Amino acid sequence: MDNGLRFSGKKALVTGSGTGIGREIALEFARQGADVVLHYAHSDSGAKSAVAEIEAMGRRATAFKADFGIVDEVVGLGEQAIEFLGGVDCLINNAGITFNKPFGEITQEQFDMIFHVNIRAQFFLTQRITKHMLEHGGGAVCNITSIHGVQGAPEHSAYAATKGAIIAYTRALAVELAHKGIRINAIAPGWVTVENYYKVIEGFSEESAAEVSKKKIPCGFPGEPIDIAKLAVFLCSDDARYIVGQTIVADGGTTTLMSLIDDFRNTSTAKFGTGYLPGV
């Protein structure tokens, strides 16, 4: 049934959708008419409450648990999603973990775990879902990476390595599958306020975030999950049919700002060009 919504009759699988960005992506797909499978790794409360919201919209939805450190469970999630939905038109690879630690203190176990969850799981889930897509007329994949994949931050070497890997494999796989009807792109979010900020950053509040972001982010405010959700839905839509293999940075201008600038809000007192450029 075509009710004018851009994803009416379509089916989406969104990983890591119990909280934050992933949950909002799942909800936005449903708002645009899609049936949705959500995924969670630990607590099911956020994913199941999202399922209830989606069902209230008149869409079909369910949530499945999978440990992304175990490839068999990752592939099993793909199988469950295909069976429940009757197919998958859009895959959004959002699930991921992070940690910060000095480079010299990172253990092999920590390294293996973050690579297994952030890139290995995404890789093999995409392999399973795109196999299905190839057999059923194509589809779209959106991988969620991070600005850590394009800029450096101390104590994030392992995390950044996984996010850079997502960008690289997105680009390579996109050119392999585009002519077969599958478009693959990625989003690199900057600062997007999610629940975890309140848990791990001492004294974090909306007020403190607003004050810091005025000084650090050119647009003057941190992102919200809906900002990434709308972009993910767009990239999976026919409106983005000519966008292939790209990583779209959504960060309010964070990576665009030259790091040597002290305060981008103030007019510079330096007078470069004086004496040889007219009017300077």
pLDDT at position 2: 52
CATH 3.40.50.720 fits 11-250, yes or no: yes
pLDDT at position 51: 98
pLDDT at position 263: 82
Residue 1 pLDDT greater than 50, yes or no: no
Q: Is 20 left (phi over 0), alpha (psi -120 to 50) or beta?
A: left
Residues 6+ apart with CB under 8 A from 154: none
* Sheet containing strand 35-40, strands side by side: 61-65, 35-40, 11-14, 90-93, 139-144, 182-189, 247-250
Let me know if 159 is a catalytic residue: yes
- 1/206: higher pLDDT: 206
The number of beta carbons lying within 10 Å of the beta carbon of residue 31 is 18
Residue 198 pLDDT greater than 80, yes or no: no
Ramachandran angles phi, psi of 171, nearest 5°:
-65, -45
Sign of the four-CA dihedral 158, 231, 226, 213:
positive
CA atoms of 227 and 21, how far apart (whole Å)? 9
Cα 134–chain centre separation: 23
Residue 187 pLDDT greater than 50, yes or no: yes
CA atoms of 1 and 10, how far apart (whole Å)? 11
pLDDT band at 245 (very low <50, low <70, confident <90, very high): very high
* Mean pLDDT estimate for the chain: 93
pLDDT at position 97: 95
Residue type for position 24? E
The single-letter DSSP state of residue 240 is G
The answer to whether the CB of 16 falls within 8 A of the CB of 125 is: no
Q: Collapse the DSSP code of 186 into the 3-class scheme (helix H, G, I; strand E, B; otherwise coil) and give the result.
A: strand
Which residue in 40, 159, 242, 276 is the catalytic one? 159
pLDDT band at 274 (very low <50, low <70, confident <90, very high): confident
Global pTM value: 0.93
- 121/193: higher pLDDT: 121
C-alpha dihedral (256, 259, 263, 268), degrees to nearest 10: -90
Please write the tens of the pLDDT for every residue from 36-93: 999 999 989 999 999 999 999 999 999 999 999 999 999 999 999 999 999 999 999 9
- Quick one: what percent of the chain has pLDDT higher than 90? 81
